[in-house]
């Protein structure tokens, strides 16, 4: 079964999940964000890892659904915190419905994660929930660090990389480890799958930072320049401050402290400093370092080259989003 088949099989499973029609808005909001699509990267990783390590993907399907539901729960709440207008090119849940409905629908989606995990083979439920809980808390920690960084005057690049590891990367690692766990893989295989996903997740988030500033709204699916508007301490901004001359630092600091500004003007001004310093290239180099660490973890697996190449091909395709 190739990756496309796995994707279709997951979509078929997702469509079997049914929720009540009332109260109005609560379950409709969950269906809405799931129907926005996306690449379903995380559930595919659960199934791909499971299949490559000779598991039964049917047994792993609820774990894939739990990971996708959790991912969408986090997106709903993140978009509220960020006041984001777009998600996957469409209105965010709180814009489509309202903020209170979005909060509640996110909470309900999280509860459905556990309903899915309880469908796993009985001997795997405890370990799966333990891994899921650890990951879910780390994602919350990462989001909190992200928010704290907005008002913190000194944030290092290492601080930032740890934040994105928690906020984004650990969920990819969890997805791959869950698939391996459900295939009865040994601890080393599980750890290598986790490392592959975690490093790939850091690379993916660095790419997301780059696209947020230099991407195209139509192909990126989110508001371009949102990180700059919100004063997000991204890799790009932190490196710019680290390498900027005094004049450039003053320009950046002025834009970060302004309370009233034109969004377009601010984005263009900050991008101009980024271009002067060349931080896009530096970010792309850092992204490649983590991508290669992910590939190294694949090569450590005791699986044949064909299976290794499937994992590498998936990771490579993930990193070829429109710039």
How do the domains of the chain map onto residue ranges?
3-318
Q: Which residue has 């780390």 as its token pair?
A: 138
**Inter-axis angle of helices 26-35 and 57-82, to 10 degrees?**
110
Give 154-211 pLDDT, tens digit per residue: 899 999 999 999 999 999 999 999 999 999 999 999 999 999 999 999 999 999 999 9
Give dist(CA 47, CA 59) in Å, integer.
10
CA pair distance 31, 129, nearest whole angstrom = 24
Please name the residue ranges forming H helices in 182-216.
Answer: 187-214
pLDDT of 323: 47
pLDDT given at position 322: 55
Q: Answer whether the bond into residue 273 is a cis peptide, omega within 30°.
A: no
pLDDT of 5: 87
pLDDT tens-digit profile, the chain (323 residues): 787 789 999 999 999 998 888 999 999 999 999 998 788 999 999 999 999 999 999 999 999 999 999 999 999 999 999 888 888 889 999 999 999 999 999 999 999 999 999 999 999 999 999 999 999 999 999 999 988 988 888 899 999 999 999 999 999 999 999 999 999 999 999 999 999 999 999 999 999 999 999 987 555 555 678 889 988 899 999 999 999 999 999 999 999 999 999 999 999 999 999 999 999 999 999 999 999 999 999 999 999 999 999 999 999 999 886 54
- Cβ(68)–Cβ(172) below 8 Å: no
pLDDT of residue 88: 81
pLDDT at 13: 96
Whole-number pLDDT of residue 279: 97
Say what the pLDDT of residue 260 is.
94
What was the pLDDT predicted at 292? 97
Give residue for tokens 């034109």. 262
Nearest to 53 by CA among 308, 319, 284: 308
CATH topology of domain 3-318: Farnesyl Diphosphate Synthase (1.10.600)
Pick the closest to residue 297 from 190, 144, 207, 168 (CA basis).
Answer: 190
C-alpha span between 203 and 319 (Å, rounded): 8
Query: Which distant-in-sequence residues (6+ apart) come within 8 Å of 197 by Cβ?
Result: 45, 169, 172, 173, 174, 175, 176, 177, 294
Opening angle at CA 272, ends 266 and 275, nearest 5 = 140
| pLDDT for the residue 150 | 80
What one-character DSSP code corresponds to residue 166?
Answer: I
Secondary structure (3-state) at 87 = strand
pLDDT of residue 221: 53
What gap in Å lies between CA 182 and CA 190, rounded to an integer?
Answer: 10
Q: What is the C-alpha separation between 143 and 153, in angstroms, rounded?
A: 18
């Amino acid at each position: 079964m190739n990756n496309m088949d796995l994707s279709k099989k997951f979509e078929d499973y997702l469509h079997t999940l049914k929720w009540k029609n009332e109260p109005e808005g609560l379950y409709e909001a969950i269906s809405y964000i799931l129907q926005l699509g996306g690449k379903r990267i995380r559930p595919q990783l659960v199934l791909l890892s499971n299949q490559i390590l000779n598991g039964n993907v049917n047994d792993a399907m609820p774990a894939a659904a739990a990971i996708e539901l959790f991912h969408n729960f986090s997106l709903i709440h993140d978009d509220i915190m960020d006041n984001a207008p777009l998600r996957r090119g469409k209105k965010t849940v709180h814009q489509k419905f309202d903020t209170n409905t979005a909060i509640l629908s996110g909470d309900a989606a999280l509860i459905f994660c556990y309903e899915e995990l309880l469908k796993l083979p009985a001997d795997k439920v405890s370990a799966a929930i333990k891994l899921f809980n650890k990951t879910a808390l780390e994602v919350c920690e990462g989001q909190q660090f992200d928010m704290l960084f907005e008002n913190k005057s000194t944030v290092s690049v290492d601080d930032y990389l740890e934040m994105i590891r928690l906020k984004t990367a650990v969920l990819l690692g969890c997805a791959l480890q869950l698939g391996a766990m459900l295939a009865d893989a040994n601890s080393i295989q599980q750890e290598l799958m986790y490392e592959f996903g975690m490093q790939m997740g850091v690379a993916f988030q660095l790419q997301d930072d780059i696209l947020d500033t230099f991407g195209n709204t139509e192909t990126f699916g989110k508001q371009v320049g949102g990180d700059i508007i919100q004063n997000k301490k991204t890799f790009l901004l932190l490196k710019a401050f680290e390498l900027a001359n005094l004049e450039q630092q003053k320009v950046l600091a002025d834009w970060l402290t302004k309370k009233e500004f034109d969004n377009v003007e601010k984005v263009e001004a900050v991008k101009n400093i980024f271009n002067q310093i060349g931080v896009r290239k530096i970010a792309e180099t850092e992204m490649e370092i983590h991508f290669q660490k992910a590939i190294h973890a694949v090569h450590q697996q005791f699986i044949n080259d064909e299976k290794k190449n499937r994992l590498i091909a998936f990771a490579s395709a993930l990193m070829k989003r429109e710039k």
